[in-house]
Chain A
Amino acid sequence: MIGFYHVYKQYVKESYAIYDINLSIEKGEFYFLTGASGAGKTTLLKLIYKEELPTKGQILIDSVNINLIPRNKLYKLRRKIGIVFQDFKLLYNRTVFENIAIPLLVRGYRKSYIDKMVKNSLSLVGLNHRKNYITSHISGGEQQRVAIARAIAGNPIIIIADEPTGNLDTELSIEILKIFEKINNNGITVLIATHDNNLIKMFSKKTIELKQGKLISSPIKEKQQWIY
């Protein structure tokens, strides 16, 4: 599902944000991506949805080498991946419903289908009662749930979340992670970047640990052989 083969990412000379990463995440798995600030977690996630390009190495998503995807076809990759950000990245002048509907609108679905899918997403995150609220008028925890609902609305195969609980208290953080668990139980691969070790311990999921851009530990076999 997600494969990194000798991936490097360099922003400045002689300094690697990501250094020789090899990993493979299978369909339906749930991983925490952990490490201190600056370890390379965000960079690794950005490489997955091609916000950044690797300096060296190959990345495969759903058996497709994303290095070879031209710019005008990038939308196809992005439709397979639901992304949740620490700062939510919502449109605050729109309603909860409108925010969640965005991935469905860009796919050109009919109104009736959009209504149904948004309703399903709202149910999953427990926000049916906030459907018509302007997003700026709801709490931080609810906003993050809207962001998650938007990420799953388009039926992605992978959900990646970059510090989704970074701005939330412990209780809300647990709530949010439970939602991710529910999503994972539906067969969607989940990869969450976090430096909150308490949460990691609480949820007992597999962990990929980064330190200064290098893979320190992971339950995955390194150095897979790739066929291109």
Chain B
Amino acid sequence: MDLLKKSLSNAINNILRNKLINFLCLGIISFTLLTLGIFDYISYNLEIFTHNFSKNIEAIFYFKNDVKEKEIKAQISNIRKSLLIDEVIYKSRDEAKTSFLSQFPELKYILKEFDKSPFPSSIEIKFKQEESNLTTKIISFIEDIERSDIIESKQVNIDWAKKVLYIEKFISITGIILSGILLFVSVFIIYNVIKLNIIYRKEEINILQLVGATDWYIKFPFIIEGALMGLLGGIIAGILLIILIKLIPSYSDFIINILKNIMILKKIPLKILIRLLSFGTVIGLISSLLSLRKFFKK
């Protein structure tokens, strides 16, 4: 505990001692983590949006005219087995005709031409709302049903969700690549800052080694320093992210209309902020360990 307190105190003193280089380092880490945070935030919102969207997904499948009732019942039974399904409502051809007439009584005369109901039988499927990543599963499920020989056509309000999913994937991949590059840069920067600190304190390290300090006793303060730099970078990035979200300018109606639909959250979720702090600390730790490894190999 004493060692931790002392290491924290030393770390803060060291950061303040070499202000310029440490603040530059902090700036780069914060920028990296801010970029990460922005992509994370957008991805998270898209995920929420698609999840909420999945609550309202309904699909109507129309059967072919020559399909036997036995086949329809078998299809309905199969569909009901799926864990995604909340409700399946079957409408026979006659029921479809009755439904049409109740909605449009003035068009009764059109149906006089037909002996049988011209409307196909159909099933209306309502999906469950509890699971995450529901939209992807639902899309896949619907495509499976559509491939069935007895299905003529479908009516699904899912095309919009598909597009959002593509955007979500694109943003995720872009975010990962960009963040990967920036994370590498951050690791490299902290690695060199810690290295400079080691060189600056070479004399002290040498004395500690000569009086019998263990390697970990010597390394620990530097590790704490690296982790602290990363953590501070994460805190700064978190604060900037909060400010940025509040300040997004609303000059484009088109973008804002989309964003208004997608950006359901007003506040930044705590888990995004925690991720930023954790990433920052881990970057700092890894960089310090890499820097110390080279020094202690001799």
Contact = CB atoms under 8 A, between A and B. Distances in A.
Interface of A: 49, 72, 74-76, 78-79, 83, 89-91, 102-103, 106-108, 150, 154
B210 A49 contact: yes
Given A89-B203, A89-B206, A91-B204, A103 B211 contact: yes
23 contacts: A72-B214, A72-B215, A75-B212, A75-B213, A75-B214, A75-B215, A76-B212, A78-B209, A78-B210, A78-B211, A78-B212, A79-B211, A79-B212, A89-B203, A89-B206, A89-B210, A102-B211, A103-B212, A106-B208, A106-B213, A106-B217, A107-B212, A150-B211
B207 interface: yes
Nearest to B216: A72
Contacts, number: 41
B16 to A, nearest CB: 14
A76 B212 CA distance: 6
B212 A154 contact: yes
Interface of B, helix, strand, loop or mixed by DSSP: helix
B211 A106 contact: yes
A154 B211 contact: yes
Contacts of B210: 49, 78, 83, 89
Interface of B: 3, 203-204, 206-215, 217
A143 to B, nearest CB: 14
Nearest to A150: B211
Contacts of B217: 106
Nearest to A102: B211
Question: Closest 8 interchain pairs by CB?
Answer: A79-B212, A106-B213, A78-B212, A103-B211, A75-B212, A75-B214, A102-B211, A106-B217
Nearest to A77: B212
Contacts of B215: 72, 75
Nearest to B296: A71
Contacts of A74: 209
A48 to B, nearest CB: 12
B7 to A, nearest CB: 12
A102 B276 CA distance: 37
Nearest to B212: A79
